Amino acid sequence: MIALACDHHGIALKHELMKLLDEMNLEWKDYGTFDVNGLDDYPVYGYKAAKAVASGECDRGILLCGTGMGISIAAGKVKGIRVCTCSDVYSAEMSKRHNNSNILTMGALVVGTERAKMIARHWLTAEFEGGRHQRRIDMIERIENGEDPESLSFRWTDGRDPAFRQFYIETEKYYNLITGGAANRTGFIPFNASDSIPVVLIAEDHGKAVGCAGLKPYSGQDIEIKRVWIEPEYRGKHIASTLMDRIEEKAREMKYKRTVLQTRLIMHDAVRLYEKRGYTLIENYPPYDKLDGAICMALNL
């Protein structure tokens, strides 16, 4: 569903874009204005359309005013909105591919009908590329939440790192908790149990370790992702996605062809994260394929 909105300057162009959306078999919803009397205020309609996109009622939005600027400023004040104001195809397409823009604004007094339709078509068919660009989107979201985008830093180390050793123990406790001891992970955990993991990435917030992920050669062209952990108070801030981005990039640099990992069906958030990143279920992944409730997943790099 595409949200449409405009002030009086954009009504005629909005109707032309409705025809384009119909041709592309895309559903749309008009949030106004419906009146050409010039008494309308673009912030009202920009807000309505932006809220619809931010809430998930609509997937994207196309907004119009005289220059495209005013309505973009209004829409951009809604949390979760990433606006691009464009008058050329390249900018519109790249705003989606690299910036994952979810609202396009154009100036009805700036671009003609055919150019506007061309811009809209390219923007609507472009796809977000993810990867390193998601890391930057995460930083933008931290700004939106009043946080310093550079508050998080990352450092490479190995399994002997004290912070990772502590996270290793925390993951053992967590696995034991969610399996009710079925994972047979009770008892003493050796201090150096994590030492066999040669590549580790630590996420830090102003020097405080808040998350980790490791890499350990598995077999042949596969490398295993180990111990993805985010401290509870930092979950939901896309740190796991950023860790995965960097860990997968490192695996590519190391010339591996596939990353493999083990998780559990009961860990719904983790499974969703991996599926969203393109991981698929695999079999014959010993010894984890013998654990009750365990699933094994892989991603071709």
pTM score, two decimals?
Answer: 0.61
Fill in the DSSP letter of residue 40.
Answer: -
Average pLDDT, the chain: 90
268 in active site:
no
136 CB-contact burial (10 Å; exposed 0-12 / middle 13-18 / buried 19+):
middle
**Dihedral sign, CA of 86, 92, 97, 100?**
positive
Amino acid at 177: L
Backbone φ and ψ for 125, nearest 5 degrees, come out as -95, -10
Cβ 6 vs Cβ 47: under 8 Å: no
Which pLDDT band, with edges at 50, 70 and 90, does 185 fall under?
very low
List, for residues 9-51, the tens digit of each pLDDT value.
999 999 999 999 999 999 999 999 998 776 789 999 999 999 9
The architecture of the domain spanning 150-300 is: 3-Layer(aba) Sandwich (3.40)
- Quick one: residue 282, left, alpha or beta (phi over 0 = left, psi -120 to 50 = alpha)? beta
What pLDDT was estimated at residue 183? 46
- List 8, 9, 58, 65, catalytic entry: 65
Report d(CA 72, CA 102) in Å as an integer.
Answer: 12
* Helix, strand or coil, per DSSP, at residue 283: coil
98 in active site:
yes
> Mean pLDDT, to the nearest integer, of 205-233?
92
Fill in the DSSP letter of residue 64.
Answer: E
Domain with CATH 3.40.1400.10 in the chain: 2-129
Is the per-residue pLDDT at 94 higher than 60? yes
CA dihedral 223, 242, 230, 202 (to 10 degrees): 70
To the nearest 10 degrees (0 to 180), the angle between helices 11-23 and 113-125 is: 50
Residues forming beta bridges with residue 300, ordered by sequence position: 258
Domain with CATH 3.40.630.30 in the chain: 150-300
Backbone φ and ψ for 294, nearest 5 degrees, come out as -85, 145
Fold type of domain 2-129 = Ribose 5-phosphate Isomerase B; Chain: A, (3.40.1400)
List, for residues 120-131, the tens digit of each pLDDT value.
999 999 999 987
Strands 199-205 and 208-219: antiparallel
